[in-house]
Amino acid sequence: MKIFTTENIRNIDRVTIEDEGVSSMELIHRVAEGVVNEILSRWSPSKPTMVFAGAGNNGADALIVAKLLIQAGFNPHVVLINVQGNSLSRDCRECRDELLRMGNVAMTEIVHTSHIPTLTPDHLVIDGLFGTGLRNPLDGGYKAMARYINESGATVVSIDVPSGMFGDWNSRILARDVVHADLTVAVQFPRLAFFLSDNASLVGRWTTVDIGLSRRAIEQTATKYFLIEKEDVRRVLKPRPDFCSKADFGHALLFAGCYGMMGAAVLASRGALRAGVGKLTVHSPRCGFSVLQTAVPEALFLPDANDNVISNMSPRVNYTAIGVGPGIGTNDATRGAVETLIKTIKRPMVIDADALNIIARNPALIDHIAPGSILTPHAGEFDRIFGSQASAETRLLRALEVSHKYKLIIVLKGRYSATVRPDGKVFFNSTGSAAMATAGSGDVLTGIITSLLAQGYKSEIAATAGVYIHGLAGDIAARSEGDYGTSAGDIAAAVGKAIREIF
């Protein structure tokens, strides 16, 4: 799915109105119908409800929502902001008049000042103060109103975006000055801001309502932001032919494990094998022999000369892809081995975990990483290498700079893990949940991506498809084990099921 900027959506909206003969009032009614359907699926008409409507088209949407709620048996109180008595847009004015024609509508129209009816935690608030047309952070009375809504403890449904938040980048806002929604009903598309953890407490849960914007305009509008869904992954995964052998599906080499952290090597190995690699060799210290051969008998074991750590990463087997980092530690011998590997290998590889921590101690190594390599840091690992970031937003922007400069693919792990490519495109992942916040989950991901890379998928495909498969495996595991009980081993065991579900 394409994720459009606010300007993109505004243009698509304009094309729909100008070229396809759909009136703006028709679009407003479609938005309102979608919002009301979401409300009716969650709350009963007995719920005390207050609708806050601004002077623009977001307010127009809210006014028609109020009308439809009345028709559904609700009794909403409408608070309409009409500064100086003449600030309503043409559509908002028409929607106000349409609502008032119903008669007996409880409305407080704020022209200069007015007492806002009391909100309680029992209330349902429909937030239609400001949409994506907002140009500056809320101030004055609007800021006070947002804080009043937040402090009331009421349940909030925001139309399109929470009032005070921008659809794209939000570095200029203060969270306390933005309406905090429990549910955000976005018009047609999710907004870029929804995928950044900084805004999670503002957006709440989100859904979209399809209002029938121009399909042609949507297809022809270019974007650099995407949400990866099942159909996208199905298109790039190759079904296996009847006549095939393990030699057709690559040979992955994993540098993983040290004394006390062999579990990471086991989990990465299981992820790689479940993702379909034809052959897997694990290079680990000698202490890991019995662990690997017992826990993952399908993998070949290549012992290091050192008993407890990996001291040499010069490949001694033919391979089609390398993954390095899970559980290797950061001792001096291993640091030297990682540095030699990075400076020697000229084909893309997967770099994770302690390999990233080693790079953080010697950032000059970035210059030597083969173009097309895939780095899979969580926020802390990323910041240790590329500098501390104040927010998820600045981290994503920094990742875009780094990816372009060094021609690397960066997977910023988290909810909606973002795969950042050198061409400036960002692919957010749609699978996964809080169940995956467990030790070893990232090791499984390293194995999956290395497996796909070994099977001949390009780095961009291996990264995006691997992240999706990993998240879906987590979702499958959580169905039986729950958010609390899911372990990384459960995720690894579900990788094959995830791929089957995709097909």
Provide the pLDDT for residue 114. Answer: 73
Instruction: Specify burial of residue 439 (Cβ count, 10 A radius: 0-12, 13-18, 19+).
Output: exposed
β-strands 205-209, 279-284 pairing: unpaired
Give pLDDT tens digits for 36-85: 999 999 999 999 999 999 999 999 999 999 999 999 999 999 999 998 88
Tell me how far apart the alpha carbons of residues 414 and 436 are, in angstroms, rounded to a whole number.
Answer: 9
What are 274's two structure tokens?
Answer: 């479940």
Provide the pLDDT for residue 84. Answer: 81
The CATH H-level (homologous superfamily) assignment of domain 230-502 is Ribokinase (3.40.1190.20)
Give pLDDT tens digits for 102-156: 998 999 999 877 788 899 999 999 999 999 989 999 999 999 999 999 999 999 9
Positive or negative, the Cα torsion across 483, 485, 487, 491? negative
Please indicate whether the domains covering 2-223 and 230-502 agree at the CATH topology level. no
Give pLDDT tens digits for 327-369: 999 999 999 999 999 999 999 999 999 999 999 999 999 999 9
Q: What is the DSSP string of 157-175?
A: EEESS-TT--SS--TT--G
Q: How crowded is residue 290: how many other Cβ atoms within 10 Å of its Cβ?
A: 11
pTM recorded for the entire structure: 0.95
485 pLDDT higher than 90 = yes
The CATH H-level (homologous superfamily) assignment of domain 2-223 is YjeF N-terminal domain (3.40.50.10260)
Angle at 217 between CA 31 and CA 16, to 5 degrees: 45
Query: Could you tell me the strand order of the sheet in which 374-375 lies?
Result: 2-3, 225-228, 426-429, 418-420, 409-412, 374-375, 350-351, 321-324, 251-255, 279-284, 300-303
The residues near 229 (Cβ < 8 Å, ≥ 6 apart) are 1, 430
Domain boundaries in the chain?
2-223, 230-502
Q: What is the DSSP string of 56-100?
A: SHHHHHHHHHHHHHHHTT--PEEEEE-GGG----HHHHHHHHHHH
What are 501's two structure tokens?
Answer: 């579900």
Shortest CA distance to 380 belongs to which of 395, 366, 362? Answer: 395
What are 113's two structure tokens?
Answer: 């000042």
The residues near 7 (Cβ < 8 Å, ≥ 6 apart) are none
Mean of the per-residue pLDDT values of the chain: 97
